[in-house]
Structure 1
Amino acid sequence: MSRPAGISAAIGQEHEGEPVRGLPGRLPEGEHILWQGAPDWRVLARTAMRAHWVAVYFGVLAVWNLVNGVMQGSGLASTLTSVGWTVAVGAAAVGLLVGYAVLVARTTVYTMTNKRFVLRHGVALSKCFNIPYRTIGAAAVKVDSKGFGDIPLSLADGARIAYPHLWPHVRPFTILNPQPMMRALPDVASVAERLSLQLQLAANAADKPFVAEPVRTTARPERQAPSDGQPAAA
């Protein structure tokens, strides 16, 4: 992965050895934590792991096996056995996806300081990415009807972090230009406002433009972000 000056990564550290939760080291003088959060595992299982679609797939497959068995005259015992195996495999698959979502949520910490955004995640291998606000060129927010949502970040000045290193905390279908993303956040509109303020301050200090992309919501039509650069609240 290629990173411009300012973006750094720490890989392989144990979470228990962190001097400050969610950070690879102690904060330097003049820097302080503004906010920390993590994904909601239920929302993460649905939006990132697509566990509900896997459940639907195996449910349809079980019904098909039942109907096909009856139509083919396979016998009640044989048909029920086939359906039972399908349901069992489906339950195991959904269970694995949900279990992984729980582990991801427990091992992920999103941190905003007055200087940078820090993404720490990793179930088996801990990874921690320090992303100064000046390296973020644009941000967006997607809000659902219950206030949960995602905040993808577009990196500027040629910054790039490899898609596999970020997953599942990356905007889908951005493999060529991966965008780090805070996923499945409760009260995401409030978090977006905090982040937008810090990005605007960093942009003003660097005398460069900052782009706040339009709010996307799954419950209501899109609304454009205000002209001051802050994402519109849901």
Structure 2
Amino acid sequence: MSHDDFEIEPVEGLPEKPPEGEQILWQGRPDWWRLSIEALSLKWVAGYFLLLAAWQFISVVDLMPLGRAIGAAVPFLLLGLVVCGLLIAVAYVQARATMYTVTDARVVMRIGAALTVTLNLPYTQVGNAMLDLRKGGTGTIALETLGETRLSYLVCWPHIRPWHMRQAQPALRCIPEAERVAHLLAEAAQARVSVPKVTRDLPARAVAAE
């Protein structure tokens, strides 16, 4: 299902060359800016520090000159800039280290900046796919796995559907042209799952002899 991937990739995003006949339909990475906002809550963090700075200013403006009151709020703004900068850096590194691949047989997710992990998700193990479309065409496609498949929420984060911890759902996070990719994935999955399995029908005598 998954394994640590430390080998040189013959095809970017894949631990080995696709089997003969398997076609790559799409490859892409998260949009790092949208990832910082949606997965790392950049706007909420920035708003929190702005609120702290405003609270500090309001608390002291009646007790000291205006210039000193503004100066008392500045450290909160500087700290907020540092924290937001770190979040943006993490989102950028995560996005650059990620490669999502959709083929006509499976979804492959090469994820992780410090520890690279490759998730291999055949369509026969995917029960449902949910599209969360956002402004500008970016969106997240979450994959609901079937059977006994169990994934670690922490290992997959942030490439995971938020708040679904008991049954973690891997997700193609904040990808451009998400609606088009979702259609590609849906058509490929439907075609793969509906392919009939051909088995040999033994003659009645052979069955009786066994």
Normalised to the residue count of structure 2, the TM-score between the two structures is 0.88
1:141-173, Cα deviation, whole Å (9 max, x unpaired): 111232111100100122111111110010011
Q: Is the 8 A contact 1:137 1:156 kept in 2?
A: yes
1:19-69, Cα deviation, whole Å (9 max, x unpaired): 210011122222221110111011111111110111111111111111111
Could you tell me which residue of structure 2 aligns to residue 120 of structure 1?
110
Could you tell me which residue of structure 1 aligns to residue 58 of structure 2?
67
CA distance in 1, matches of 2:182, 2:153: 23
Shift of 1:199: 1.3
Could you tell me which residue of structure 2 aligns to residue 33 of structure 1?
24
CA distance in 1, matches of 2:15, 2:72: 50
Could you tell me which residue of structure 2 aligns to residue 89 of structure 1?
79
Could you tell me which residue of structure 2 aligns to residue 10 of structure 1?
3
Shift of 1:77: 5.9
Which moved further from structure 2: 95-104 or 196-205? 196-205
CA distance in 1, matches of 2:113, 2:3: 15
CA distance in 1, matches of 2:16, 2:132: 31
Report the 3-state secondary structure (helix = DSSP H, G, I; strand = E; otherwise coil) of the residue aligned with 1:160: coil
The change in CA–CA distance for 1:206 and 1:62 in structure 2 (over 3 A counts) is farther
Q: Is the 8 A contact 1:11 1:125 kept in 2?
A: yes
Could you tell me which residue of structure 1 aligns to residue 142 of structure 2?
152
Shift of 1:206: 6.3
Could you tell me which residue of structure 2 aligns to residue 22 of structure 1?
13
Q: Is the 8 A contact 2:34 2:174 kept in 1?
A: yes
Normalised to the residue count of structure 1, the TM-score between the two structures is 0.80
Q: Is the 8 A contact 1:134 1:206 kept in 2?
A: no
Could you tell me which residue of structure 2 aligns to residue 42 of structure 1?
33
Match of 1:201 among 191, 203, 208: 191
**Which letter maps to 2:3?**
A
**Which letter maps to 1:29?**
E
Report the 3-state secondary structure (helix = DSSP H, G, I; strand = E; otherwise coil) of the residue aligned with 2:118: strand
Within 5 A, what are the aligned runs for 1:156-171?
156-171=146-161
Unaligned runs of 5+ in 2: 198-210
**Which letter maps to 1:11?**
D
Shift of 1:203: 2.2
Unaligned runs of 5+ in 1: 1-7, 208-234
Report the 3-state secondary structure (helix = DSSP H, G, I; strand = E; otherwise coil) of the residue aligned with 1:172: coil
Report the 3-state secondary structure (helix = DSSP H, G, I; strand = E; otherwise coil) of the residue aligned with 1:157: coil
Match of 1:130 among 108, 117, 120: 120
CA distance in 2, matches of 1:158, 1:96: 37
